[in-house]
Amino acid sequence: MKTFTIVTVQYNCSIPDQKLNIEIGLRYVKEARELGADIVLFPECWITAYAFPDIVETELPENEIECHPEFKAWYAAAIDDNSTTLRA
């Protein structure tokens, strides 16, 4: 049976700068790899510093939030499987 070494990262990112946070995250991955990690786990939303648009905190219906320009801009900047920042 294969044994995996898993490292968890508790990184308190407070700046919603995706590029900077990815660079910092990659440093943690490199350090974890040097320590023998097979898998590195990060907290949810660490790349965006939990910086959701203010419109999300309103009592508006979901469809109005999703159509709001502030939310659309935030959503468009989100990283997905096709993001160049995630490609090796």
Per-residue pLDDT of 31-85, as tens digits, reads 999 999 999 999 887 787 777 777 777 888 888 888 989 888 878 877 677 776 6
Report how far Cα 77 is from the mean position of its chain's Cα atoms.
Answer: 11
This model's pTM is above 0.75: no
pLDDT of res. 12: 77
pLDDT of res. 49: 75
CA 21 to CA 79: how far, in whole Å?
A: 12
pLDDT of res. 4: 92
pLDDT of res. 62: 86
